[in-house]
Amino acid sequence: MMSGDISKTIDLDTVAQKKHLYALGAFEGLLGEVQIFDGVSYSSRVKDSVVTLETGIAGATSLLVYTQVEQWIENSSFQFTSKTDLERLLWNEAKKIGLDTEKPFPFVLEGKVSELQWHVINWNPKDTIHTHQKHQESGLNGIIKNKNIRIVGFYSQKHKAIFTHHSSNIHMHFVAEDQNLAGHVDDLTIEGSITLKLPKR
């Protein structure tokens, strides 16, 4: 993607029937964000300078990372102040429950965020130079505070610039509890506690 290939990679119809589906990605041409929680999709796109949300798993994607998780191991006592702190927490907690941290694994966060920086991409098809900053600024972006959210994410130490940013081991998307906003997570802070879910082996 960062090399400029934003063509179709997969149709969401091909994964729509998978049970306990969790996924994140971007629509074909980088025109919107995909986030799926246990088979329920929240597609966010920019239309007339507003983020619109649609349910239903459909459309073609430039990027899609997905998994099927029937059971999660849940812990509700976590705090962190940045994505970097969260990376360390994920690695430690995955080790504790016996996950192979050399392989990618999904996670879910649920609870109140103190602050969450987000964007919904709306790429200019004439622009062929891709950077993380331009992806953040191409559509709409903002900050939400003191709001209940759900996050689906993937951790990997070996997929930088493939499905995580080149400087990060995690890629996350969110949906607000009131379902009025969803998109890509750029950074977040948790001052209280939040529930972390990791897949049961």
CA distances from 104 to 100, 141, 155, 159 (A): 8, 27, 6, 8
Mean pLDDT of 116-130: 78
How many domains does the chain contain in total?
1
Let me know if residue 157 belongs to a domain.
Answer: yes
Let me know if residue 46 belongs to a domain.
Answer: no
User: CA angle, corner 17, sides to 38 and 69, nearest 5?
Assistant: 35
Report how far residue 9's alpha carbon sits from residue 190's, in angstroms, rounded to the nearest whole number: 34
Adjacent-strand bridge partners of 64: 25
pLDDT at 133 over 90: no
Question: What's residue 61's pLDDT?
Answer: 87
Let me know if residue 20 belongs to a domain.
Answer: no
Tell me the residue type at 115. Answer: E
78 and 90 Cβ atoms separated by less than 8 Å: no
Give the number of residues written for the chain: 201
Q: Percent of the chain having pLDDT more than 90? A: 63
Q: Which of 43-57, 60-74, 120-134, 172-186 has the lowest mean pLDDT?
A: 120-134
Q: Which of 29-33, 124-128, 131-135, 141-145 has the lowest mean pLDDT?
A: 124-128
**Distance in angstroms between the alpha carbons of the first and the last residue of the chain:** 31
Question: Between residues 8 and 20, which one has the greater pLDDT?
Answer: 20
Let me know if residue 63 belongs to a domain.
Answer: no
CATH of the domain at 96: 3.30.1330.80
pLDDT at 125 over 90: no
Per the listing, tokens 């649920």 go with 110
Question: What's residue 130's pLDDT?
Answer: 60
Let me know if residue 4 belongs to a domain.
Answer: no
Instruction: Using CB atoms within 10 Å of the CB of residue 150, give its burial: 0 to 12 exposed, 13 to 18 middle, 19+ buried.
Output: buried
Question: What's residue 2's pLDDT?
Answer: 45
Domain containing residue 191: 71-118+143-199
Residue in 132, 130, 131, 114 with CA at minimum distance from that of residue 171: 132
Let me know if residue 47 belongs to a domain.
Answer: no
Let me know if residue 161 belongs to a domain.
Answer: yes
pLDDT at 43 over 90: yes
Report how far residue 101's alpha carbon sits from residue 8's, in angstroms, rounded to the nearest whole number: 30
Q: What is the DSSP letter of 30?
A: G
pLDDT at 44 over 90: yes
pLDDT at 131 over 90: no
Q: What is the DSSP letter of 156?
A: -
How confident is the model over 60-110, as pLDDT tens digits? 888 899 999 999 999 887 888 888 899 999 999 999 999 999 999 999 999
Question: What's residue 64's pLDDT?
Answer: 92
- Label residue 124 by pLDDT band (50, 70, 90): low
